[in-house]
Structure 1
């Protein structure tokens, strides 16, 4: 189970990783395995629309069982499929890096993290750092 304490660690450490790497201001959301928001934080200077972007990245990961990189590859190979899924999920998926599955020690999906604000690849790097800091396994 992914709880509020782990979510707070993920957010804190993802933001630290972004700042240490000189990334633009990030926004980080943590969802549980049902796609419900556990926690969200936006760095000073991050644009206000970032919550929806971060949530869509994480929501796609947890609902589809694949991280943003895998979703992007699927969108490139089968754009019609991802477009249809966007309709199914009322636009709440964004198939790009920065949506990262969270797995526990047994490999079970316990939630997802969405990060936005820099390049999608850098967003994923920050998310992965936060997840590892919480003692969990990222799957981007």
Structure 2
């Protein structure tokens, strides 16, 4: 039988803290979402000034990354490269800012961020996703 790491509330809190610190250091009003490997939300934090829609978008970016086992940016690149069929996939495929959390080569969750430019969202998400290493 295989075993895998899972995110506890301690790790989720650590991820939120790292992502929040990155966003606040840059004065970016974003929403940060952490999901498990099935894309189910474990935490959501909407920073002061972040728009309400950013909570939905950040959740979907995280879910896309967790279920797809890759950064959501990869799907955006596929669509922009002409694979428009991905637009009908049950994932939010067109936006950068979802980053998987990888432990021992396995995706155990993801971080999604929304509220600023796509590459800035990804920068905040990576700060969270990579803090466990």
Counterpart pick for 1:22 among 24, 27, 31: 27
Who is 2:3 aligned against? Answer: none
**In 1: Cα distance, 2:88 partner to 2:34 partner:** 25
TM-score by length of 2: 0.88
Long gaps (5+) in structure 2: 1-5
Counterpart check, 1:67 vs 2:71: yes
Counterpart pick for 1:119 among 117, 120, 128: 117
Counterpart check, 1:53 vs 2:62: no
| Matched-pair contact (CA < 8 Å) for 1:10–1:130 | yes
Counterpart pick for 2:14 among 9, 13, 25: 9
1:45–1:17: structure 2 CA closer, same or farther, 3 Å change rule?
same
**In 2: Cα distance, 1:128 partner to 1:117 partner:** 15
* Count of aligned residue pairs for this structure pair: 128
Query: What is the root-mean-square deviation in Å for CA atoms of aligned residues?
Result: 1.4
Deviations 1:57-94 (A, max 9, x none): 11111122221221111111234221121xxx2xx524
Who is 1:40 aligned against? Answer: 44
Long gaps (5+) in structure 1: none
1:11–1:20: structure 2 CA closer, same or farther, 3 Å change rule?
same
Moved over 3 A (4+): none
| Matched-pair contact (CA < 8 Å) for 1:28–1:54 | yes
